[in-house]
Amino acid sequence: MIGLILGTSEGKTLLSLLNEFTEDIFITTATSYGGELLKEYKYKILNTTPLDLEKIKEKIKENEIKILIDASHPYALEVTKNAIAACEECNIEYFRYERPSIVEKYKDNPNVITVESYEELGKHLSKIRGTILNTTGSRNIKRILDLNLPNPIIHRVLPTLKVMEELDELGLKPESIVAMKGPISYELNKAFIREHSAEAILTKDSGIQGGTEEKILAAIDSNIKIFVVDRVNSIKPNQFGNAEELIRFIRNKFY
């Protein structure tokens, strides 16, 4: 059986490619919403709750998984760390799919600023006087709030009940929230900038598939700053940046 950890939109591509030669697949996503997106594909088992190291090992043994494909989000560092450790301890094959970075392409533009941490981000944002549009995701909102910035901040998040409840617990008011499923187009990003008179955008390097390029271009063309919280650069075992190449490699080697 092949295990598949999914956390990005390319999960559907990976699953579609795997379905060309197997349905013997165990899938795990962090949310039930992620699982709902996979209904049209074929697999044996679907788990929709987060798995820690011990639970990953348990699922590997329970389902006799021989190959684990980690297609979690580039910023889901703990997931990848646990997946690698579980494969090593269970002596099975680990493969990593990680969507390519897009930020490098714009590194020479003065309005595109990469930061390595939220602490560094805070130092930059202290120089911004106007509204900030935060698109780093709901899990990072507390980090932004902890910077104690005086600026108005608009948080763009996924429109799920769970996220809304989390934001309510953080004390956010409705006027500080835009709930919308991404990725967002260039035109709509520009419209958000205009509507809120934003002076800066906060984002992560989520690649082309995550809509990062549209945010960057909208910021550049609106002549405002976009701050990108950079990825932790580390090469994982058997890492691929192309879904087709990864599945072709697995098919040729193991099937």
Q: Is the peptide bond before 183 cis (omega within 30 degrees of 0)?
A: yes
Q: What is residue 37's predicted lDDT score, i.e. its pLDDT? A: 85
Q: In sequence order, which residues have a C-beta less than 8 Å from that of residue 169 and are 6 or more positions away?
A: none
Tokens of 21: 């030669």
| Residue 34 pLDDT class (50, 70, 90 cuts) | confident
| Residue 209 pLDDT class (50, 70, 90 cuts) | confident
Cβ distance 212 to 203 under 8 Å? Answer: yes
Average of pLDDT values for 85-98?
A: 97
Cβ distance 161 to 187 under 8 Å? Answer: no
Q: What percent of the chain has pLDDT over 70?
A: 100
Cα gap 2→100, rounded to integer Å: 23
Q: Give all domains of the chain, ordered by start, each with its CATH number.
A: 2-100+233-254 (3.40.50.720), 103-229 (3.40.50.1000)
List the beta bridge partners of residue 155: 134, 177
